[in-house]
Amino acid sequence: MSYIAPALKTDLQSKAHNAVLESIQAIQALNTPAALNFIESAALMIAEAFQNGNKILIAGNGGSLCDAAHFAEELSGYFRQKRPALPALALSDPGHITCVGNDAGFEYVFSRGIEAFGKRGDIFVGLTTSGNSPNIVEAFKAAKQAGLKTIAFLGKDGGKLKGVADLELLIRGFKTSDRVQEAHMAAIHIIIELIEAKLFT
């Protein structure tokens, strides 16, 4: 174990404490009427889509793509209980992304995926902490054109996508994406919990 000087240890502990408090603040952003209404409405919209034989397509960039994959696998795989698999797909195939990015431009990697897999009555879920990611903006356009319902997980001031989706969660007040993503992931877990409660209890 390496030695940490007392002054440095105190400084690191202070930074850790402040980071924990900020992370708690991010999660507390979900405890508002608007956020709680979003969580309930998103769970009901997705559950109804599954009941009608539809699916959800999910996309994001970087950490938000990891959150999209996390969202999808806990529906298609398992979350808290054994139950039938639910049709959710993260638009994350590297062959597709590099093909479209190379041939048409990175801004079209997700809209092309919606063109391939999206059907009227499906749901597109887009995650972007800025609300300005060009490929997510294009994906929402494609989803609307194809008759998909839409859900947005946004941060900061909502960017270009504020007010675009049928349902949106906007996490304000944080300068960095990591805190926004922490709130997004907590909301996603609660949405999945409510979907299971709606469909399987």
What is the pLDDT, as a whole number, of residue 1?
57
Q: Give the number of other CB atoms < 10 A from CB of residue 163.
A: 11
User: What Å distances lie between residue 6 and 3, 13, 19, 64, 138, CA to CA?
Assistant: 9, 10, 20, 37, 51
Q: What is the CATH number of domain 32-200?
A: 3.40.50.10490
What is the pLDDT, as a whole number, of residue 82?
93
**What does the alpha-carbon distance between residue 48 and residue 35 come to, in Å, rounded to a whole number?**
20
List b or e across 29-42, with b for residues whose CB sees 16 or more CB atoms inside 10 angstroms. bbeeeebeebbeeb
What is the pLDDT, as a whole number, of residue 139?
98
Return the domain boundaries, the chain.
32-200
What is the pLDDT, as a whole number, of residue 11?
85
What is the pLDDT, as a whole number, of residue 10?
76
What is the pLDDT, as a whole number, of residue 9?
67
In the chain (201 residues long), the average pLDDT of successive 10-residue segments reads 64 91 96 98 98 98 98 97 96 98 98 98 98 98 98 97 98 95 98 97 88
